[in-house]
Amino acid sequence: MELIKGKRVNYSESLGALVEYKEAKQSIDLKTTNAFVRVIVYEAGVTRLWISRWEDSFEDDFSYAVTGKPHETEYQLFDLDDKLVIQTALVQLHIQKSPVRFEFYTKDQQLINADDPAFGTSWIGNEVCTYKKLLPGERFIGMGEKTGNLDRRGRAYTHWNTDYFEYPVDGDPLYCSTPFYMGVHSGLSYGIFMDNSHKSVFNFGASNDRFASFSAADGDMNYYFIHYNTVAEIIQAYARLTGTISVPPLWSLGYQQCRYSYYPDKEVLNVARTFRDKNIPADVIYLDIHYMDAYKIFTWHPEHFSEPARMLKELRDMGFHVVVIVDPGIKKEEGYQQFDEGVARDLFLKYPDGENYTATVWPGDCFFPDFTKPETRDWWGASFAGYVKDGLDGFWNDMNEPASWGQTTPDLVQFDYEGRGATHKEGRNVYGMQMARSTYEGTRQLMNGKRPFVLTRAGFSGVQRYSAVWTGDNVASDEHMLVGIRMVNSLGMAGVPYAGYDVGGFVGESSIALYTRWVSIGAFAPFFRGHTMINSRDSEPWSYGEEAEEISRNYINMRYKLMPYIYSVFHEAAQTGMPVARSLAIDYTHDRNIYNTLYQNQYLFGPAILVAPVVSHQQISKVYLPEGEWFDMYRDRPYAGKQEHMVDTPMDRLPLFVKGGSIIPMQTLVQNTQQAPEDVLMLHVYKGSQGGSFVYYEDDGETYEYENGACMTRTFTYNEADSTFTIAQKEGLYTSRFKRFKIYFHGFEGKVASVVLNGKAIQVEKEDVAYFKQITAFDPLYHQEGVLRQISDVPFVEFAAEAGELTLSW
The residues that are catalytic are 398, 401, 473
> What are φ and ψ of residue 726, in 5° steps?
-110, 135
Residue nearer to ligand GLC on the CB measure, 260 or 634:
260
Q: Answer for the pair 604, 587: CB distance below 8 angstroms, yes or no.
A: yes
In angstroms, give the least distance from the CB of 402 to ligand GLC: 12
Q: How many whole angstroms separate alpha carbon 40 and alpha carbon 225?
A: 10
3-state secondary structure of 241: helix
Q: How many whole angstroms separate alpha carbon 522 and alpha carbon 513?
A: 14
Q: How many whole angstroms separate alpha carbon 713 and alpha carbon 625?
A: 31
In angstroms, give the least distance from the CB of 260 to ligand GLC: 4
Q: Is 325 in the site for ligand GLC (CB under 6 A)?
A: yes
Q: How many whole angstroms separate alpha carbon 497 and alpha carbon 482?
A: 18
Q: Is 472 in the site for ligand GLC (CB under 6 A)?
A: yes
Contacts of 353 (CB under 8 A, 6+ apart): none
Among 220, 473, 636, 699, binds ligand GLC (CB under 6 A): 473
In angstroms, give the least distance from the CB of 405 to ligand GLC: 12
What are the counts of helices (DSSP H) followed by strands (DSSP E) for the chain? 13, 54
Size of the site for ligand GLC (CB under 6 A): 9
3-state secondary structure of 191: strand
Q: Is 115 in the site for ligand GLC (CB under 6 A)?
A: no
Residue nearer to ligand GLC on the CB measure, 138 or 288:
288
Q: Is 289 in the site for ligand GLC (CB under 6 A)?
A: yes
Residue nearer to ligand GLC on the CB measure, 41 or 325:
325
In angstroms, give the least distance from the CB of 473 to ligand GLC: 5
Residue nearer to ligand GLC on the CB measure, 539 or 673:
539
Residue nearer to ligand GLC on the CB measure, 468 or 670:
468
* 633-662 residues labelled b (16+ CB within 10 A) or e (exposed): bbebebbebeeebebebbbbbbbbbbbbbb
Q: CA nearest 499: which of 562, 450, 436, 546?
A: 436
Name residues contacting ligand GLC, limited to 546-605 (CB under 6 A). none
Residue nearer to ligand GLC on the CB measure, 198 or 531:
531
Q: Answer for the pair 746, 771: CB distance below 8 angstroms, yes or no.
A: no
The DSSP result for 267-282, as a single string, is: HHHHHHHHHHHTT---
Question: H or E segment at 479?
Answer: helix 478-492
Among 288, 478, 549, 550, binds ligand GLC (CB under 6 A): 288
3-state secondary structure of 143: coil
Q: How many whole angstroms separate alpha carbon 372 and alpha carbon 376?
A: 8
Residue nearer to ligand GLC on the CB measure, 325 or 625:
325
Q: Is 151 in the site for ligand GLC (CB under 6 A)?
A: no
The neighbour count for residue 164, using CB atoms within 10 Å, is 17
In angstroms, give the least distance from the CB of 160 to ligand GLC: 17
In angstroms, give the least distance from the CB of 299 to ligand GLC: 15
In angstroms, give the least distance from the CB of 472 to ligand GLC: 5
Q: Answer for the pair 174, 494: CB distance below 8 angstroms, yes or no.
A: no
In angstroms, give the least distance from the CB of 455 to ligand GLC: 10
Among 103, 145, 370, 398, binds ligand GLC (CB under 6 A): 398
In terms of C-beta distances under 8 Å and separation of at least 24 residues, what long-range contacts does 410-414 make, across chains too?
Answer: 410/351, 410/357, 412/351, 412/352, 413/349, 413/350, 413/351, 413/357, 414/349, 414/350, 414/351, 414/352
The neighbour count for residue 170, using CB atoms within 10 Å, is 12
Q: How many whole angstroms separate alpha carbon 91 and alpha carbon 417?
A: 35
Q: Answer for the pair 806, 763: CB distance below 8 angstroms, yes or no.
A: no
Q: CA nearest 205: which of 159, 172, 156?
A: 156
Name residues contacting ligand GLC, limited to 523-552 (CB under 6 A). 531
In angstroms, give the least distance from the CB of 362 to ligand GLC: 7
Q: Map residues 340-379 to x or -, x wherever contact with ligand GLC holds by CB under 6 A.
A: ----------------------------------------
Residue nearer to ligand GLC on the CB measure, 409 or 471:
471
Q: Map residues 240-269 to x or -, x wherever contact with ligand GLC holds by CB under 6 A.
A: --------------------x---------
Rg (CA), the chain: 27
Q: CA nearest 398: which of 483, 470, 492?
A: 470
Q: How many whole angstroms separate alpha carbon 544 and alpha carbon 547?
A: 8
In angstroms, give the least distance from the CB of 327 to ligand GLC: 7
Point out the residue whose Cβ comes nearest to ligand GLC. Answer: 260
Q: Is 174 in the site for ligand GLC (CB under 6 A)?
A: no
In angstroms, give the least distance from the CB of 396 to ligand GLC: 8
* Peptide linkage before 70 cis (omega within 30 of 0): no
Residue nearer to ligand GLC on the CB measure, 497 or 505:
505
Residue nearer to ligand GLC on the CB measure, 154 or 364:
364
Q: Is 458 in the site for ligand GLC (CB under 6 A)?
A: no
Name residues contacting ligand GLC, limited to 438-457 (CB under 6 A). 457
Q: CA nearest 599: which of 644, 651, 649, 657?
A: 644
Residue nearer to ligand GLC on the CB measure, 319 or 530:
530
Residues that bind ligand GLC (CB under 6 A): 260, 288-289, 325, 398, 457, 472-473, 531
